[in-house]
Structure 1
Amino acid sequence: MQLRRSPKPPKSPTAADPSCRRSQTPVKDPPHGHDPTVKVYVKVKMNSPYLLCMDEDTANTELIDPYYLWIGPNERNLKGQINTDITETGKLMLKPFRKIMSGTYSCTLSYRTINNHFEEELTLKLFTFLVLGYREPDYSYQINVRYATLACHQLANSQFFEGLLSTVRGLIDGLTCKLTNFYHSCHAIKEPEEKLQNELFLSFRVDPFGKGWEEICSEVMYDCEDETNARVQKARDLIEKFFIRQPNVLKNEFADPTKIYYIEHSIEITRIDNCRSGFGKNEITHNDCANCCVVCDPNTYNSMNNAHCQVCNDIQIPYYGATTC
């Protein structure tokens, strides 16, 4: 991924260096407030932005013998670590970022100044960052459609639904997607100024984890959610076009059109987001990354690919990204 460079220092103290923002915005900038700790969100398997060991004052001040000491999670000295890049001016990059790297990173800047009496003074400044890994959510799509039917209590309704699912599976064959959560019911509907009509309510979900998805993910170098989400979005588009453009084909293929027929414009498609184990959404805590699956905080976990992390009341979890309680 190409990174854009900016020669100017950050205008806000303790902000992440904007020179390494990516076009896909896998890194989200935190808000500026009174909390000296700055939150930085880094997409898993991507490099972090450069974290600056300076503020506006030091960026515009002559520093004599500056020394930068970066400390990571578990009080680990980051100098010489294989997954870090620390420049001679104290900038830190974490590469590539993994879930277990989430946590607090601090830099102590020490430097000397010489006053008008040629006396040396030692100055220390501390800058702190909370760096959190995130992933894109896994997309699935809930599909709801309606059909008019002659009677609710007839075998043809179930046969029609099975035939419809078979055709939809054929549409998305090759995309490593699958259909789940099948459901159908029949109800008598009375629209204003219309006669009573029996309608079939048909529902199913399409998700990207069909046969062969593991092999597809093993072939990509980047985050697999990008690939699986692209495939399930293509499946959604194919299904939507099928219902919008081919209602007559559906009628003729499955049943006598005088008994069961598609109600045009009845299709409803809803995206459902889920997070991988160890990650979850939290629109309040992570409002700057509200649509991200952010690594679970200590004492929380996600073990079932749910949308949110859950509090663990049984044991203390001191680390980020727990998958069990």
Structure 2
Amino acid sequence: MTRAWVLLSAVLWSVVGVGSQRSSLFSKKGFVYGTEGHPVKIYVKLHQNSPVLICMDINRANKETVDPTYLWIGPNENALTGNSRVNMTNTGKLVVKDFLESLSGLYTCTLSFKTIKAETQEETTIKKRYDFMIFVNPFAPGWKSVCNDSLDCEDATNHNILKARDRIEEFFRSQAYILYHHFNETVPAMHFVDHSFQVVRIDNCRPGFGKNEGLHSNCATCCVVCSPGTFSPDVDVTCQICVSVHTYGAKSCP
């Protein structure tokens, strides 16, 4: 009597949205507030919109702000006005639409507002700076064609893989029954061992992306776009050093 062992290799990816941290920086509405002196790290899915970034910390948001103005600066200190992928409001909110690798980087907002002394009515202008580091965390290759119009592409892919596993397992169980009960005289019996069928996770990232627990400790399992100075040419899980690379998501070292 022989055993039939089947191994299905599949990529199972974890669902990660805006970073795994859930602190006071995140409001109940999903807005992301800034914090003075510490950049807020945010992870955005490829071709999805970023969360709403607020040019203000939570403490300031709970106070009256007199004559506020907001100045947003994008990666490489580029102005964001006129960028069709960036939606800014006059209340200091910013959303990056249809996020791409090239949009990764440092987004800085300077909040200016006035304070007025009650005794003298003297006005003073206060400026506060808030930094947001936005990184792309992509879908796996091929998910777009598999999921069609699904908004939760990762969930759909994982569900399809597990469904395929269950169907293949049922196929071998049925084959074992048929061979044993109908062909036992001419064909060797097949014995299926319950729970012997396995789905194996393959841990890799698409070219231009890698994992870096030191840099992305709050999203250590994420495949994050390679930072400037690094590249990833294949499906490895790390970005290699290349000092001549000056962009995000590099796939080669010039």
TM-score normalised by length of structure 2: 0.74
- What's the RMSD between the two structures over aligned residues? 3.4
Cα distance in 2 for residues equivalent to 1:240 and 1:281? 33
Contact 2:87 2:94 in 1 (8 A): yes
* Aligned: 1:38 with 2:40: yes
Residue aligning to 1:303: 233
Mapped to 1, the partners of 2:84 and 2:27 lie a distance apart of 21
Residue 85 of structure 1 is aligned with which of 84, 87, 111?
Answer: 87
List per-residue Cα deviations over 1:222-265 (Å, max 9, x = no partner). 58666555443332232233334542346759x8316xx33513
**Which one scores higher on RCO, CA 8 angstroms, separation ≥ 6?**
2
Corresponding residue for residue 122 of structure 1:
125
| Counterparts of residues 172-321 of structure 1 (less than 5 Å) | 216=145, 220=149, 228-249=157-178, 256-257=187-188, 261-262=190-191, 264-265=193-194, 266-306=196-236, 308-313=237-242, 315-321=243-249
CA distance in 1, matches of 2:231, 2:150: 27
Unaligned 5+ runs, structure 1: 1-9, 22-28, 139-208
Structure of greater Rg: 1
Q: Give the CA deviation at 1:294.
A: 1.3
| One-letter code aligned to 1:321 | G
Judge conservation of contact 2:112–2:127 (CA < 8 Å) in 1: yes
Alignment correspondent of 2:7: none
CA pair 230-269 structure 1, distance change in 2 beyond 3 A? closer
How far did 1:279 drift? 1.7
CA apart distance, 1:77: 1.2
Aligned-partner Cα distance in 2 for 1:282–1:237: 34
CA–CA distance in structure 2, aligned partners of residues 34 and 125 of structure 1: 7
* C-alpha contact 1:247 1:264 (8 A) present in aligned 2: no
The 3-state SS of whatever aligns with 2:247 is coil
In structure 2, what is the Cα distance between the partners aligned to 1:226 and 1:271?
Answer: 15
The alpha-carbon distance between structure 1 residues 269 and 222, as it changes in their structure 2 partners (threshold 3 A), is: closer
**Which amino acid in structure 2 is aligned with residue 267 of structure 1?**
F
Q: Distance in 1 between matches of 2:48 and 2:227?
A: 20
2:29 aligned to which of 19, 22, 32: 19
**SS of alignment partner, residue 19 of structure 1:** coil
Using the alignment, how far apart are the partners of 1:285 and 1:11 within structure 2?
19
- 1 or 2, which has the higher strand percentage? 1
Q: Shift of residue 135 of structure 1? A: 1.9
Change (3 A) 1:285 1:34: farther
Question: How many residues get paired?
Answer: 227
